[in-house]
A = this chain, B = another copy of it.
């Protein structure tokens, strides 16, 4: 694995493989062919073989893939076998939703603290995690060796907080604020822009509506 470059497209697809393999394991399935996996995931079998070949041909002719082995290998590639210490900045609904999602912790993302500027939230405890003032941010990051931060705050303060996170040593930001952050090359940002996702849905449903209208007009003629 070391040093091998895997294409971004494959990486984007890996978490989905991981999810399906996890579900197969839960159902007691020990091995699966690329054709069976193809039928379940609605991806061509050749795509699956190509993708999984990136990891050194885990499949065997006439036997298929060993589900548990493949699941664990993909987990390692995704870094899920490691522990990531995480904080959440913004203890509103979205921040609390993340804090409450126990599955993240199962996968190695350990939420160590939450931060907010709202005095009504500071001091509250969500799933055992205390909400602190952002004034304590730097001190907390250093004391707890935090690498990862979820940013669930409005865009107005996102730049400033991101700068502070980076200066304090955080090297991965899960960004829900609706801005593109400027960070140094050795910091990674993964964006979740909900309103952009909603607009893509809007685009597709609008095309669908146009199509329906066209068909009805044709009928009426």
Contacts and interface: CB of A to CB of B under 8 A. Distances in A.
Interface of A: 2, 11-12, 14-16, 18-19, 41-42, 77-80, 82, 84, 92-94, 96-98, 100-101, 103-104, 107-109, 147-148, 171-172, 174, 178, 180, 186, 188, 190, 192-210
Given A94-B94, A195-B15, A171 B208 contact: yes
Contacts of A104: 195, 198
B12 A171 contact: no
Interface SS majority for chain A: helix
A177 to B, nearest CB: 12
Q: How many copies does the complex hold?
A: 2
B208 A197 contact: no
B84 A205 contact: yes
A25 to B, nearest CB: 15
A188 B204 CA distance: 7
A75 to B, nearest CB: 9
A100 B203 CA distance: 22
A16 B192 contact: no
A202 B78 contact: yes
B15 A193 contact: yes
Given A79-B205, A97-B92, A200 B196 contact: no
Given A97-B94, A180-B42, A197 B203 contact: no
Nearest to A174: B201
A190 B197 contact: yes
Contact of A93 (B15, B78, B100, B206): B100
Given A104-B195, A190-B197, 18 more contacts: A11-B200, A15-B196, A15-B199, A16-B196, A42-B180, A79-B203, A79-B205, A79-B209, A93-B93, A93-B96, A101-B195, A109-B198, A109-B202, A147-B205, A148-B201, A186-B208, A188-B204, A188-B208
